[in-house]
Structure 1
Amino acid sequence: MKLESNLPKQSPWLYTAPLLNTILLLLVYFLFTSDFVVQSGISVEHPESNSRLTGFDRAHIITVAAGTDSALYFDGLRISQPELREKLKANREGERRAIIHADKHAPHGRVIEIGNMALDLGYEVAYSTVPPKS
């Protein structure tokens, strides 16, 4: 005996609406989460390292560019070394962590000098690197 349904046939749009909703949610999710990558806005060529460090997601970004003047940037704005010291001193209540994005061709002494300045002012310091190419 063959069973037959007395229900009316449903429109195919009824089944595509949840599919489109899921695709839209995934698209929005990936578009918004792509902004969570920390970038300084200044193009530097990072040195390579196998180490990884977590917990610096809301840290201040100090960028040391390559070249003879080795320009300094604090959170994307160009700044001099005395101004950097004043900005770091003024931030007593905020986040006390700093990531140093130094170009691999920047003078090593300058990079260490900036790191020591932040350490002396009570900041935790991390040096930005990239994983080695394999």
Structure 2
Amino acid sequence: MKLESHLPRQSPWLYITPLLNAILLLLVYFLFSSGFVIQSGITVEKPRSSSRLTGFDRAHIITLAPGNEVPMYFDGRRVSLDELTQKLVEGRSGERRVIIHHDRQAPSGRVVEVINLAQELGYEAAISTTPSPPPLAP
């Protein structure tokens, strides 16, 4: 004996809604997580190093680009040395770490000056580098 349902047929949207919900959640996740990548937006050729440093995920980024005037950027916005000092003083209540992205051609005196400025204002400073290639096996 075949059993028959006497319930009314449901709309196909009832079955598509959870699928759309899952797709939208994935879309939102990937949109928000793409902002977690640390990049300053300024192209610099960083020096190479084999060391790694952790704990600077939400640090401010100071970029020293190559050039005669050594343009500086704080979190992607171009600043002068005085403006950088002001921004660091204003931001002392938040994250107390900075990452220095500097080009290999940037004068080392300017890099040291920025690091000293950050440390004098109570920040931890780290220099961003490019990972060294692994040594060749003999």
Residue segments in structure 1 that go unaligned for 5+ positions in a row: 1-20
- Note if 1:55 corresponds to 2:37: no
**TM-score, length-scaled by structure 1:** 0.77
Q: Distance in 1 between matches of 2:58 and 2:85?
A: 19
Runs of 4 or more above 4 Å deviation:
21-32
Map of 1:65 onto structure 2: 65
Map of 1:10 onto structure 2: none
Map of 2:13 onto structure 1: none
1:41 partner SS: coil
Provide the aligned length of Structure 1 versus Structure 2.
132
Deviation at 1:71, TM superposition (A): 0.3
Map of 2:78 onto structure 1: 78
2:35 partner SS: helix
**TM-score, length-scaled by structure 2:** 0.74
1:91 partner SS: helix
Residue segments in structure 2 that go unaligned for 5+ positions in a row: 1-20
Superposition pairs of residues 15-34 of structure 1, within 5 angstroms: 32-34=32-34
